[in-house]
Each structure stands twice: as C-alpha cells, then as structure tokens.
Amino acid sequence: MFYHQASFLINNITEFKQQILSWANQFNICCFLDNNQYNLPHSNIECLVAVNPIHQLNVENNSLLQLQKFITQHQKKWIFGHVSFEVKDEIFNTTSKHENKVNFPLLYFFIPEIVIELKNNQANFYSTNNNVEELFTTIKNSATTTTSINSNRENLTIQSKISKQTYLAVIEQLQQHIKRGDCYEINFCQEFFAQNANINPIEVYQQLSKISPNPFACFYKLNENYLMCASPERFIKKQDSTIISQPIKGTIKRNTANKKEDELLKQQLLNSKKDCSENVMIVDLVRNDLSKICKEGSVKVDELFGIYTFPQVHQMISTISGKVEKDINFASVLQATFPMGSMTGAPKKRVLELTEQYEKSKRGIYSGTVGYISPENNFDFNVVIRSIMYNAVEQYLSYQVGGGITFYSNAENEYEECLLKAEAIRKVLS
C-alpha cells in the first residue's frame, strides 16, 4: 500500500482544524488527535487525523499477541487505535467482572485510508487514493460546526455509581490496605452516568474543547461508540530510539481571576508533601516499567515535579525517558508499561486486584489509551482521562474520575478533587 502525499500552507490553523473535524465526522470510524496549541516538551504535531479503515484489528482476547502480528503485517504504515484498561487482565492475570455499558472493544487498531497531519502552519496529507488536492479543497470549503456553550442537554440526568458516603468509606478501607503494606498508592475511580442520553457527540466535544482545551485531546468515533477526550496527560511516546512517559500526579484548582493568587497555588502544589510523595512513587514505578524494555542504564528522570498550567487546574508532571531499539514493537512496550502507573498505583498487580474489589464499573477505554504509530515506527499515546464516553445505540453516557490514594490522603479532599477534575465535563453536560 502506497500513500500519495501533498502539503499545503494553512493560514488559520484553528479554523482548519474545525473544518477537518466536521469532515472526519462523516466517517463511521475516525480519530482526531489535538494538541490545542500547547508548547509542551516532546510535542511537535498540532493535530493528527485518521479516517476510514482499510485494515482493522478488533479483538477481545489474546489482544497483545494479535496486535504484535497486526503491526508486523503493516509495517511502514500509519496505525491508529486504542487499548482499553482491561487489557491489564492479560498482562497481570487478573479478572474484571463489572459491567461497562459504553462497550468499546477491548483493543482496536486500524490502517486509515486518509491521514492529515498539521504541523507548523502546514497540512500534510497522506491518502491511499490519488485525490489529495481534491481532498484539501473539499475540506477547505466545508463549513465548520459551531456551537453555543450554553446549549441545553435536555433530559440528561447524571447519576453516580456510588454515593459520596460510600466513596469516603472506601477511601478509609484503601488506607487500611496501605497501612497493612498491601500497596503504597492506589488510583481509585468512580463512574457518573446518564441513561436515555440523546446528544450530538461532535458538538459536545467542541464544547469540551472550548471550556477545557488540553494537549492530548481526542475525538474518537468507532461506529456507535464515541470518546470525547480532554486529556492533559501523555502515557508513552517513542521518537527514534528515545522513549518517554509523563505521568501526572498532583492537582490543585486555579484562581484565574487573581494572577498573584494563581501563582501562590502553583507554589502550594509544588510544596505539597502529599502530592510530591504521590508523584515520586509513580515516577519510581514508571522507571521500573521502562527498565524492562530500555537499554541498561539509559532510564533517567528528565524532570521531577514539573508544574504545568491548564484551564481549570495546575498539575504536577514528571518526565521519565530511556533508550530503546528503534524497531521495538509497540505491543512489547504495552506488555512492560500498561496500564500506566498514574492510573493504577504500586505495586501494580495488587493494586489492580484492589481496583476490581472496590470499584463498581469496568473502566473500559477510560484510563486506557488512544494514539498512533507512524510509518517510521514512532508512536505517541495519551491517557484517557477527563473524558466523556457515549454509546449512541444504547444512549448511555458515562464519565469517570479518580485520584491517587496514599497514607496521607484526606477522603473528603479526594472527593472534592474528583469533582474538580470533572468540572469541565459537568459544565458541558449541564
């Protein structure tokens, strides 16, 4: 398979992205990855879009083995897709018995007919058909879907899978596990959902992006399943022989009305013993994960306790890197590093058992990952958080939020942090 290529200069990147999004939504399967013009380290693509599978992999068991075969069969091609959280069951021999009504596949990857890459005011088109100029003209002349932030979500009743009282009790139980030495830290998540939900996914995604633009945002459509993602977090990236992971642990609310107060909040997060201890535990976990696939002695912490600012919150992000063989297989990387430490805890296997014991929903694509593999065998995958999941056939809408629980956690504060992380979602759906 050969990609026809052409590049075009773009005057208004923001407008062109909206035109691409509206165009991509006509396809049953599309993946729209958006950096939202963040100038973060290790990010050089503003937007990457893939539509219309020529080949696809949709599996519910032995997923990593089949993924490895799929990638080997389709070397030097663009590959896009997702890995659900429950792939953990294959890696750690755990089981998941809760229900997941959104029902994304366990693992899905596809070779797209068309890929569009936006970088430095330039749109690079890759198409298996020799119609690149025509494609560009069609998108350039298409109308954008515009929405009002105040549009109503009629008959949308958001419910929680567990009550606040239950949540507080579970945190105390988890801290008992920590005191006994079962684990050091555990990421505990809860689901909020709406039934009989009738929404326009692309409009909801646009509103979410307007309220909370984030560097690992994603509109991902898989037939009747939709992911509207405003993630600030990268799971894993490979560029040539360098691999990096950037876990987030540590969150504090912003005060956007008072710049001085906002700066003080950043310092408060940086000086928080609780958040630093959370962060460094996950950094150690990621270092250990990366050491399984990296060259000996190459794993290092490039940045510890970096404070980064997003629309609603300041976050503490650390960057860990290592050196790998350039032809390393992505499935092998998943085997060593998935699920990501920031969404599990330490030690991973025991934490995953406790997650199943205390959470009430399967996570599914939430706290899984969405991203791409390039023809050069580079890849970049996010952490699916701050996201709305929607099944259009079942009319079931869901979002999940969680936080890292340690010995120092305060249950009431953890609950408030969950609500803070979901603030943009609640604004969009209200």
Please identify which of the residues 237, 238, 249, 421 carries the catalytic annotation.
Answer: 249
CA-wise closest residue to 102 among 404, 419, 345, 396? 396
Residue 229 near residue 395 (C-beta atoms within 8 A): no
Calpha distance 53→365 (Å, rounded): 20
Question: Is residue 249 flagged as an active site residue?
Answer: yes
Q: Which residues contact 393 (CB under 8 A, 6 or more apart)?
A: 224
Alpha-helical (H) ranges within 154-305 are 164-180, 201-211, 259-270, 273-291
Question: Is residue 349 flagged as an active site residue?
Answer: no
β-strands 234-239, 300-309 pairing = unpaired
Alpha-helical (H) ranges within 96-163 are 132-140
Report how far Cα 108 is from the mean position of its chain's Cα atoms. Answer: 15
The owner of tokens 């939430």 is 366
Calpha distance 363→182 (Å, rounded): 22
Please identify which of the residues 117, 185, 233, 278 carries the catalytic annotation.
Answer: 233
DSSP state of 120: T
The owner of tokens 């503003």 is 46
Residue 349 near residue 56 (C-beta atoms within 8 A): no
CA-wise closest residue to 116 among 138, 145, 147? 138
Amino acid at 197: A
Please name every residue paired with 56 in a beta bridge, in sequence order, or none if there are none: 110
The owner of tokens 């979002």 is 399
- Three-class SS state of 250: strand
Count of C-beta atoms within a 10 Å radius of residue 356 = 17
Q: Which residues contact 192 (CB under 8 A, 6 or more apart)?
A: 158, 159, 160, 161, 398, 399, 400, 401, 422
Residue 36 near residue 338 (C-beta atoms within 8 A): no
Q: Which residues contact 412 (CB under 8 A, 6 or more apart)?
A: 168
Residues with a known catalytic role: 233, 249
